[in-house]
Amino acid sequence: MTEKEKCAQGLLYNANYDPELIQERMECKDLCLEYNQLKNTDTDNRNRLIKKIIPNSKNNICIEPSFWCDYGYNIRLGENFYANHNLVILDCAEVSFGDNAFIGPNCSFYTAGHPLDAKQRNEGLEYARPIRVGHNVWFGGNVVVLPGITIGNNAVIGAGSVVTKDVPDNAVAVGNPCRIVKMIEP
């Protein structure tokens, strides 16, 4: 079984020495660098490149530079997606956003995690867990979402939060660790 196949099955895998994964990351990061160096007024090339980086995206999306991801093909963006500056998505597993997702500056979504066992970690092993974000979700600035998290529809994640547990529909959640402080009445 290849390292990419292990990753897809949620098993421990080694991305550090696998030629296929290394090549895919290098190609994606080259595209991200190219995207980040475009002028804001060059909307045609910005749109073309972001579709090349994230082929599984709907049409009405805007990601302000700088933007970085690992592979791009594991990201799914719904309609009316907006991300402010300095978005990082470590998409070793799928990261999906529903329609009308709004992301403040300096936000990060991490599907990659590492074993607690130092020996395994030092061998370069990691795992990947998907992140799922519903429709109409707003993230304040400086939010970090950890591996395996699901955030429900209409949720609001406050600035500076570190999301370590799932957040249900219609919740306002804040803090480190992020916790629900209020439910939004539909």
Write down all domains in the chain, each with its CATH number in brackets: 3-183 (2.160.10.10)
Residue 172 forms beta bridges with which residues? 156, 182
Residue 107's pLDDT is 98
Residue-level pLDDT at 186: 73
Distance CA(100)–CA(82), nearest Å, equals: 8
Report pLDDT for 185.
87
Q: Residues in the chain with pLDDT < 50?
A: none
Cα gap 26→39, rounded to integer Å: 22
Alpha-carbon radius of gyration of the chain: 17
For tokens 């539909």, the residue is: 186
Query: What's residue 80's pLDDT?
Result: 97
Both tokens of 173, joined, read 């959640």
Q: pTM (2 decimals)? A: 0.95
Q: Specify the pLDDT at position 71.
A: 98
Q: Is 85 a catalytic residue?
A: no
Active-site residue among 4, 114, 129, 135?
114
